[in-house]
Amino acid sequence: MRRGIPLLFLVLVILCVGCGEDASSVPSRVPRQPSDPFVPKHPRRQVFVGEWAQDGDTEFIIHRDKEGRVLIDVPKNLVWDSVVNNVRFEGDSLCFDQYMYYTGPANFTSLGNPVGDHPYSGVRNASVLSPNPDDPNVLEYSLKTKDIEAPFEGQLQKVGKEANKPMNTDN
């Protein structure tokens, strides 16, 4: 089980503040999306492979499966289930859509949400991971939600056995 509060959960709680009673302020939600977390081949794909954390909490695990495909896993937590799809490279940045679906016990009906789940459940979050030019064990992370003006930005640290290992150029 993860300790601490997951990064995206904090972002979503912050985004929820000020939603008020007005249903028009609820962001563009979509029904549950199928997961397609596979990372396409790219000369720098291996740079992203590893376990990536912020403040000690693992946010993403990018690894090879039994068939040798590279995919993005988001660790499960008690209140959010994550779906990753539309994985692609834009230049040297790894981009993907992340949909978080609220599974917690709180009822948000009073926030103008007739479904009763979190107002940002099922909202598309455009995520971008970019290599840090000064440190191969750091990724720059940006998360943008359509209904929020400024993106959330931060850094992820490579943890576990992959940290501080020389980069393999095999893609």
Structure tokens at 119: 């107002």
Residue 167 forms part of a structural domain = no
Has residue 31 got a pLDDT over 90?
Answer: no
Helix (H, G, I), strand (E, B) or coil at 21: coil
Residue 142 forms part of a structural domain = yes
| Domain containing residue 49 | 7-17+29-162
**101-132 pLDDT per residue, tens:** 888 888 877 656 666 777 788 889 999 999 99
Residue 51 forms part of a structural domain = yes
The tally of domains found in the chain comes to 1
**55-103 pLDDT per residue, tens:** 999 999 999 999 999 999 999 888 888 999 999 999 999 999 999 888 8
Residue 74 forms part of a structural domain = yes
Under 8 Å between Cβ of 127 and 141: yes
Residue 170 forms part of a structural domain = no
Residue 24 forms part of a structural domain = no
Helix (H, G, I), strand (E, B) or coil at 127: strand
The pLDDT value given to residue 48: 97
β strands within the chain, DSSP E: 38-39, 50-54, 57-64, 70-73, 80-90, 93-102, 124-132, 135-145, 152-159
Considering only residues 41 and 30, tell me which one the structure prediction assigns the higher pLDDT: 41
Residue 1 forms part of a structural domain = no
Residue 2 forms part of a structural domain = no
